[in-house]
Amino acid sequence: MKKTSPVSRSGRFSSGPGGDAAKFTESISFDRRLWRHDLMGSIAHATMLGGIGVLTKAEAKRIVRALEAIGDDIEAGRFDWDESLEDVHMNLEAELTRREPAGAKLHTGRSRNDQVALDTRMWLRDEIVDLEEELRSLQQALVALAQANNDVIIPGYTHLQRAQPVYFAHHLLAYVEMVERDRERLLDAFSRVNVCPLGSGALAGSTLPLDRKQVAVILGFEDRQGRPVVSQNSMDAVSDRDFAVEFCFVASLLGVHLSRLAEDVILWSSSEFDFIRIADAYTTGSSLMPQKKNPDIAELARGKSARLVGNLVSLLTLLKGLPMTYNRDLQEDKEPLFGSADTIRAIVRLTDAMLRHTSVNAAACTAAAADSALLATDLADYLVGRKVPFREAHHLVGEVVALAEKMTKPLDQLTLKELQGVSRKFRADALEVFNLKQALAKRTAIGSPGTKEVKKQLRRWAKRLD
């Protein structure tokens, strides 16, 4: 059935945009996903209008009932979205008015400018709540993998060159820390998303005595103390998209972190490293090479994170030249915002699932960690214990490394005599440095990959995420 647009009844225009212009201006193809929040906002607004006498109680009740019925129909897939009605707000208002003549009074004291800001904020609140939960689950997956392999040691890398030994768990907990910062940023951003703009009108509020706080309370815009939070400047309220930018930034940085994790997973699953095995369900084969098992989930987590950065830059660029207040350009905020929310949530969920289906090849890790060069720094520390200044100790051990290389044998296979050929400071106990277990037990400082410290951190995270 053809609906009448609330706008087509506008006295100012002989016709609305048609053809290409309508296609160019419509947003219903993507903003319809705000329908639930648009209805909730309208219900709150109608209730408030009933309270201040703009609507009779009976009208307010009928409007609320009609809006709820529309919601049921949309939910059940019985709703035809009409592109000629431009956006989600006009589609829903037109349908309301068709069902309930008093619906024509709903838009009193309201503009699509404050309405869309409201809907977007409400939608984003829900996304943040869900994402936060998914982040916790991801952290739990990392901790679970770390706990299941808590005595596995691997080389730690700088410049992608073997550097010093670390527990595999320590490496994974580094990502738990990163994700924790992302969670904090997300929750911090939430407090700025959770501000009610309704009542700001097109840009300059309304002559009617709107009860903005009542609307805020109905819609859950409250601070920790349960006090309503409403925007304090009508012009800012309709043109502000900081909350969207902030979310896109948080998603970008989180995406960058998970892209780095993906890169580690990709490296570790290669034959060269062979530290981990990803379950078949999270890999794919090659259409040509029968032996291939590719880490596509990790690669796409890495690849898709590019969109997050792109969306952030799109939003910032969208905003930078806008005069106050609302400009239609702002309609372009939705696709990047929706895209970032969808993309980051998919990355988080799939990374979580992949990690829960990944096992560790302890033998390969142990073999790599047995490289005694990883303990060259410990040998320098040994000399420090013998009162050699570190700079000198570093130089002497450099000579020892060069000697071992020349003799084509591992560092720990040098004899005491050969060590003493470099420095008389080396004693018989120097070679004890190469006991890997002891080397890790010696690292006791907070945040180090020491045996006790890593266990302590694992317990801390397990308890915190419980």
Kindly report the number of other CB atoms within 10 A of residue 61's CB atom: 15
Quick note: the x/- pattern for ligand ARG over 239-278, rule CB under 6 A, is: ----------------------------------------
Q: Can residue 27 be called a binding residue for ligand ARG (CB under 6 A)?
A: yes
- Range 328-387, binding ligand ARG (CB under 6 A): 328, 330-331
Using the rule CB under 6 A, give the single segment among 129-137, 180-188, 271-279, 323-331 that binds ligand ARG: 323-331
Catalytic site residue from 159, 269, 357, 395: 159
Q: Which stretch binds ligand ARG (CB under 6 A): 273-281, 303-311, 325-333, 336-344?
A: 325-333
- Contact pattern for ligand ARG over residues 131 through 160, marking x by CB under 6 A: ------------------------------
Q: Give the nearer residue to ligand ARG in terms of CB position, either 31 or 240.
A: 31
Taking CB under 6 A as the criterion, the residue among 49, 70, 85, 87 binding ligand ARG is 87
Q: Compute the half-sphere exposure of residue 79: CA atoms within 13 Å on the CB side of its CA.
A: 23
Q: Which range, of 72-80, 129-137, 166-174, 327-335, touches ligand ARG by CB under 6 A?
A: 327-335
Name the residue among 421, 420, 422, 400 with its Cα closest to residue 410: 400
Question: Can 206 be counted among the known catalytic residues?
Answer: no
Shortest reach from residue 31's CB to ligand ARG, in Å:
6
Half-sphere exposure of 380 (CA within 13 A, CB side): 18
Catalytic residue among 10, 29, 191, 286: 286
Binding mask 47-86 for ligand ARG (x = CB under 6 A): ----------------------------------------
The residue among 318 and 404 lying less far from ligand ARG, judged by its C-beta, is 318
Q: How far is 448 from 378, CA to CA, in rounded Å?
A: 14
> Smaller CB distance to ligand ARG: residue 107 or 112?
112
Residue closer to ligand ARG by CB (options 31, 352) is 31
Task: Compute the least distance from the CB of residue 11 to ligand ARG, in Å.
Answer: 16
CB of 28 to ligand ARG, least distance (A): 8
For the bound state, the minimum distance from the C-beta of residue 331 to ligand ARG, rounded and expressed in Å, comes to 4
| Distance in Å, CB of 111 to ligand ARG, minimum | 7
CB of 238 to ligand ARG, least distance (A): 9
Query: Which CB atom, from 328 or from 387, has the smaller least distance to ligand ARG?
Result: 328
| 89 counts as catalytic | no
Residues 97-136 that bind ligand ARG (CB under 6 A): 112-113, 116
308 phi and psi, to 5 degrees?
-65, -45
Residues whose CB falls within 8 Å of the CB of residue 285, separated by 6 or more in sequence, listed in order: 292, 293, 294
To the nearest whole angstrom, how small is the minimum distance from the Cβ of residue 329 to ligand ARG?
Answer: 9
Number of residues that bind ligand ARG (CB under 6 A): 10
Closest CB 81 distance from ligand ARG, rounded Å: 13
Q: Name which of 247 and 326 has its Cβ closer to ligand ARG.
A: 326
Nearer to ligand ARG by Cβ, of 96 and 374: the residue is 96
Q: According to the 3-state scheme, what is the secondary structure of the chain?
A: CCCCCCCCCCCCCCCCCCHHHHHHHCCHHHHHHHHHHHHHHHHHHHHHHHHCCCCCHHHHHHHHHHHHHHHHHHHCCCCCCCHHHCCHHHHHHHHHHHHCHHHHHCCCCCCHHHHHHHHHHHHHHHHHHHHHHHHHHHHHHHHHHHHHCCCCEEEEEECCEEEEEEEHHHHHHHHHHHHHHHHHHHHHHHHHHCCECCCCCCCCCCCCCCCHHHHHHHCCCECCCCCECECCCHHHHHHCCHHHHHHHHHHHHHHHHHHHHHHHHHHHHCCCCCCEEECHHHCECCCCCCCCCECHHHHHHHHHHHHHHHHHHHHHHHHHCCCCCCCHHHHHHHHHHHHHHHHHHHHHHHHHHHHHCEEECHHHHHHHHCCHHHHHHHHHHHHHHCCCCHHHHHHHHHHHHHHHHHCCCCHHHCCHHHHHHHCCCCCHHHHHHHCHHHHHHCCCCCCCCCHHHHHHHHHHHHHHHC
- Compare residues 320 and 328 and give the one whose CB is closer to ligand ARG: 328
- Hey, which residues are catalytic here? 159, 286
Which residues of the chain form contacts with ligand ARG (CB under 6 A)?
27, 31, 87, 112-113, 116, 326, 328, 330-331
